[in-house]
């Protein structure tokens, strides 16, 4: 079945005992046994819960993997996957990584004896270079599009590189969602999600997931899901599952609105550059066109007036809210230099392209005319701010 159909029906069969079209939520923490050890597959909800099993079936189907384990947050999901490594094992990670993932590798797993090397760019060659710094590489960890510079990593290229060295590839697919790209089909072994973002889609729940190409690849992650215990609750799962049903229509509109705003911004004199993989001016536009069905709802711009212009712009938006996070129905604006990436010193940030004039937009589902007008009036105010 096609993606739109699976988004609604995978893991969502009507309840056999009542016919309820929407499967009921199982809030129970425990399950009554007929005799010791005689149960119907569930004993205790940290180890297994029918509502969670439904979401895991749904996500495995959408990503084209054999099995999925869900978690209480995206970082709990990433943690469980990294926890499958042994001290002395090495990870190569993307250069432009989600801040929380960087912190997890650098401040949690490094001290536990995991070696970490960073690819210096989005090029597959950079991953190959980074591999050479590791004594015992095991896993390549990538994000694409990256945050906030929206670089595109060649998933098939990096997965190939990993496979030919006997290594595993994990892709954090949070920015694209499975509607726009399915890394397992391109050769990846694992997909990681913050379901907090596009999958939930309404900025009202925190959650995460690991999807594996094969059952065997998920075995240790499944063990850790129970042993470490960072499982999602049924009410949170319900919100994610509800969001998934409209993922295809939401993503279509996110992409349409973002492309339209990118073109508008490209022609505004207050803007130095617009970064959006759907623009022909994006250096990896051709690669994005090959590996993604469309270009996503994230859009980054750099203002001519630097910090003052960025602060004026962000403060003068009315429809866009100034807030971290992304992927919800409402449009958000973020100033990486002072918000999401403030912990990176300026002399490291600037050469990587995260300048003071950079602004990241999560383009929502409001009417395109209201969004365009909001950007227009906020840009006009920055020109004023620079002039006086
Ligand atoms: C938000 C995010 C995460 C972390 O997810 P949480 O649900 O906040 O723990 C990981 N990767 C990316 C790309 C994200 O945007």
Rounded mean pLDDT of the chain? Answer: 96
Q: Is the CB of 79 under 6 A from ligand 1?
A: no
Give me ligand 1 centre to Cα 117, in Å: 20
Q: Which of 77, 95, 175, 196 to mutate to test the pocket of ligand 1 (most atoms within 8 A of CB)?
A: 196
Catalytic residues: 46, 98, 172, 197
| Contact of 374 with 318, CB cutoff 8 Å | yes
Confidence band (pLDDT; 50, 70, 90) for 385?
Answer: low
Share of the chain above pLDDT 70, in %: 99
For residue 387, name the pLDDT band (cuts at 50, 70, 90): very low
Residue 66: name the closest of 219, 251, 204 by CA: 219
Mean pLDDT value of segment 287-312: 96
- Average pLDDT (305-329) is 95
Tell me: pLDDT of 26 over 70: yes
Beta-carbon contacts of residue 223 (< 8 Å; ≥ 6 apart): none
* Tens-place pLDDT, residues 201-258: 999 999 999 999 999 999 999 999 999 999 999 999 999 999 999 999 999 999 999 9
Average pLDDT of the residues in 95-106: 90
DSSP SS3 for 287: helix
The pLDDT of residue 388 is: 41
Give the atom of ligand 1 at the shortest distance from the alpha carbon of 75.
9
> How far apart are alpha carbons 199 and 254 in whole angstroms?
13
Of 307, 357, 356, 360, which Cα lies nearest the Cα of 333?
360
Per-residue tokens: 358: 């950079």
pLDDT at 95: 82
Tokens of 48: 């297994």
Query: Comparing 349 with 3, which gets the higher pLDDT?
Result: 3
Cβ neighbours, 10 Å, residue 27: 11
Compute the average pLDDT of residues 45-58.
98
- List, for residues 114-163, the tens digit of each pLDDT value: 999 999 999 999 999 999 999 999 999 999 999 999 999 999 999 999 99
Q: What is the pLDDT of residue 60?
A: 98
Alpha carbons 375 and 362: distance in angstroms, whole number:
13
How far apart are the CA of 197 and the centre of ligand 1, in A?
A: 8
Closest residue CA from atom 5 of ligand 1: 74
Alpha carbon of 172 to ligand 1 centroid (Å): 9
Q: Which domains does the chain have, with CATH numbers?
A: 3-245 (3.40.640.10), 248-385 (3.90.1150.10)
- Nearest Cα to 294, choosing from 328, 255, 264? 255
Tell me the mean pLDDT in the region 83-89: 98
Range 33-50 average pLDDT: 96
pLDDT for 11 = 97
Cα(221)–Cα(204) distance, integer angstroms = 26
- Per the CB < 8 A criterion, the answer to whether 284 and 122 are in contact is yes
Q: How far apart are CA 117 and CA 141, in angstroms?
A: 10
pLDDT the model gives residue 383 = 75
Helix (H) or strand (E) holding 245: helix 234-245
Could you tell me if 211 and 65 are in contact, meaning their C-beta atoms sit under 8 angstroms apart?
yes
Q: What is the torsional sign of CA 141, 143, 149, 154? A: positive
Distance between first and last Cα of the chain: 59
Q: List, for residues 254-299, the tens digit of each pLDDT value.
A: 999 999 999 999 999 999 999 999 999 999 999 999 999 999 999 9
Distance, in Å, from the CA atom of 383 to the CA atom of 360, rounded to the nearest integer, reads 19
70 CB burial (10 A radius; 0-12, 13-18, 19+): buried
**What is the pLDDT confidence band of residue 365, given thresholds at 50, 70 and 90?**
very high
- As a whole-number percent, the residues of the chain with pLDDT over 90 amount to 92
- The residue whose CB lies within 8 Å of the most ligand 1 atoms, and thus the one to mutate among 77, 108, 175, 197, is 197
- d(CA 101, CA 280) in angstroms, rounded, equals 30
Cis? peptide before 54, omega within 30° of 0: no
């Amino acid at each position: 079945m096609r993606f739109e159909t699976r988004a609604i029906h995978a893991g969502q069969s009507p309840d056999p005992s009542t016919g309820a079209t929407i499967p009921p939520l199982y809030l129970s923490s425990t399950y009554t046994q007929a005799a010791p050890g005689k149960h119907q597959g569930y004993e205790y909800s940290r180890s297994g819960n029918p509502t969670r099993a439904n979401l895991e079936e749904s996500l495995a189907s959408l990503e084209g993997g054999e099995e999925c384990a869900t978690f209480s947050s995206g970082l709990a999901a990433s943690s469980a996957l990294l926890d499958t490594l042994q001290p002395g094992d090495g990870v190569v990670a993307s250069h432009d990584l989600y801040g929380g993932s960087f912190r997890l590798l650098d401040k949690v797993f490094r001290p536990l004896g995991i070696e970490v090397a960073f690819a210096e760019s989005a090029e597959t060659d950079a991953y190959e270079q980074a591999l050479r710094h590791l004594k015992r590489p095991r896993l390549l960890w990538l994000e694409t599009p990256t945050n906030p510079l929206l670089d595109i990593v060649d998933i098939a290229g990096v997965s190939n590189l990993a496979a030919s060295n006997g290594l595993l590839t994990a892709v954090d697919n949070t920015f694209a969602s499975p509607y726009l790209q399915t890394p397992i089909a391109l050769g990846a072994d694992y997909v990681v999600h913050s379901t907090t973002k596009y999958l939930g889609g309404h900025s009202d729940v925190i959650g995460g997931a690991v999807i594996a190409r094969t059952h065997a690849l998920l075995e240790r992650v499944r063990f850790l899901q129970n042993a470490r215990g960072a499982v999602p609750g049924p009410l949170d799962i319900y919100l994610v599952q509800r969001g998934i049903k409209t993922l295809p229509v939401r993503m279509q509109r996110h992409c349409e609105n973002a492309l339209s705003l990118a073109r508008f911004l490209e022609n505004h004199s207050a803007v130095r550059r617009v970064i959006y993989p759907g623009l022909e001016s994006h250096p990896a536009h051709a690669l994005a066109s090959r590996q993604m069905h469309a270009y996503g709802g994230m859009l980054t711009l750099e203002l001519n007036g630097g910090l003052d212009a960025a602060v004026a712009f962000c403060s003068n938006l009315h429809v866009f809210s100034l807030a971290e996070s992304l992927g919800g129905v409402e449009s958000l604006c973020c100033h990486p230099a002072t918000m999401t990436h403030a912990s990176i010193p300026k002399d490291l940030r600037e050469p990587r392209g995260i300048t003071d004039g950079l602004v990241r937009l999560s383009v929502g589902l409001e009417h395109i005319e209201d969004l365009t007008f909001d950007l227009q009036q906020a840009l006009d105010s920055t020109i004023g701010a620079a002039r006086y």
